[in-house]
Structure formats: structure tokens, C-alpha cells
């Protein structure tokens, strides 16, 4: 029968003391870590929303920039300027539900 190599788990006395000193159960600690992860995820989505809005504004500037930009660049930016605000609204609606 093949042997299974399991990783070594080492809990030092200082780790155990620190854990017990906090007076929180493992479940409480897991809950706090999950809350922190969710908070960080919300922050990242909010940052992304800001970037989408800024990108839409810049795309509109390029689309309206006239002959200093190539026709292809202006057309692509026009489409982005039209689409990104709707994408942002969709993302915001999804974020509100969660």
C-alpha cells in the first residue's frame, strides 16, 4: 500500500498561548477572517468601479478628440464610452445585491 506524506503541523506553546489569550474560538476567528476577506473584496470592486468610470471618461475624450487621434482609435473609444457606463451600472447593481 502506498504511503501518504502529510505535511507536518507544528503548534508551538507560544502560538497556543497567543490563540488562547485572545479568548476567541476557532469559529470566531474564521468568521472574522471571512468578514475581512469580504470587506477587502468590496473595496477592490469599488476601486474597479472608479477605474471603469475614469476609463469611460478618457474614452469619451479620445472619441471626441478629432483628427489628432486615428479613426480606429476614436471609433473604439466611442464604443467603450457608450458601453462602459452600462457595464458600471450592472456591476453596481450586482454589488448592491451581495
Domain ranges, ordered by start, for the chain: 13-97
Tell me the per-residue pLDDT of 58-87, one tens digit each, with 9 for 90 and over: 999 999 999 999 999 999 999 999 999 999
Could you give the 3-state DSSP secondary structure of residue 16? helix
pTM for this prediction: 0.70
Asked if 33 and 44 count as a contact pair (C-beta separation under 8 A), the reply is: no
Short-list 90, 3, 8, 88, CA closest to 48: 88
Tell me the per-residue pLDDT of 29-61, one tens digit each, with 9 for 90 and over: 999 999 999 999 999 999 999 999 999 999 999
Confidence bin at 23 (pLDDT 50/70/90): confident
Amino acid at each position: 500500500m502506498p504511503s501518504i506524506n502529510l505535511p507536518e503541523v507544528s503548534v508551538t506553546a507560544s502560538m497556543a498561548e497567543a490563540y488562547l489569550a485572545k479568548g476567541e474560538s476557532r469559529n470566531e476567528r474564521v468568521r472574522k477572517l471571512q468578514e475581512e476577506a469580504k470587506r477587502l473584496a468590496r473595496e477592490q470592486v469599488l476601486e474597479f468601479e472608479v477605474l471603469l468610470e475614469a476609463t469611460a471618461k478618457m474614452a469619451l475624450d479620445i472619441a471626441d478628440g478629432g483628427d489628432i487621434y486615428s479613426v480606429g482609435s476614436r471609433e473604439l473609444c466611442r464604443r467603450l464610452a457608450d458601453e462602459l457606463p452600462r457595464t458600471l451600472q450592472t456591476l453596481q447593481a450586482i454589488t448592491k445585491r451581495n
